[in-house]
Amino acid sequence: MSKELTNNFVGLFSSRLTTLGHILDISERYFNENAESILGFDLIDDMLPFGAQIAYTCDQPCNFSLWCRNQESSNLSPELDSLTMARDLIERTKSQLEGLELKESKFSEIKRINIGGDQYLELEGINYIQDFLIPNFYFHLVTAYNIMRMKGVPLGKVNYNSHLAPFIRAA
């Protein structure tokens, strides 16, 4: 069961990272010669920009990978200086997921997550994945998508759900 769950989580993260790369590609083409500026686009002033949303989307599967390997979490820098850097981060994150093995014992292991200041969470492993990593992953992925939609990039649900393309059948 552990191998199946590992494959499910790895597949989820990998396919949605591919979606993030797809959003980045479409956005770059849309903004053409001004494409590098998209990394600084945001929804509102107090929210992190597109580049940081890419980094934080990648942060979740990176920390999942580290956790599976019994290594300490290490949050990525939200500073992405170029689209090449953003693309490399997405691809590097996907490669970190390859060959992962999630031992059954990890699901009941307590994971401590520092959330700022002197506050932290303690979650069982399965809750760490389902209640922390995956929701944060989708939050930043959707925020990246929404930033580009707000800026006029021609993205739609078909782009966001591109991971479903292999399952589409003709009636």
115, containing H or E segment: strand 110-116
Domains in the chain (CATH in brackets) are 2-164 (1.20.120.450)
Tokens of 27: 């956005």
Q: Is the pLDDT of residue 143 over 70?
A: yes
| Residue 119: strand, helix, or coil | strand
The Cα–Cα gap between 140 and 105 comes to 29
Q: State residue 1's pLDDT score.
A: 53
Q: What is the pLDDT of residues 50-102, one digit of tens each?
A: 999 999 999 999 999 999 999 999 989 999 999 999 999 999 999 999 989 88
75-113 burial: b if 16+ Cβ within 10 Å, else e: ebeeebeebeebbebbeebbebbeebebeeebbeeebee
What pLDDT digit, counting tens, does each position of 88-124 carry? 999 999 999 998 988 888 999 999 999 889 999 999 9
Backbone angles phi, psi at 112, to 5 degrees: -95, 130
pLDDT of residue 103: 87
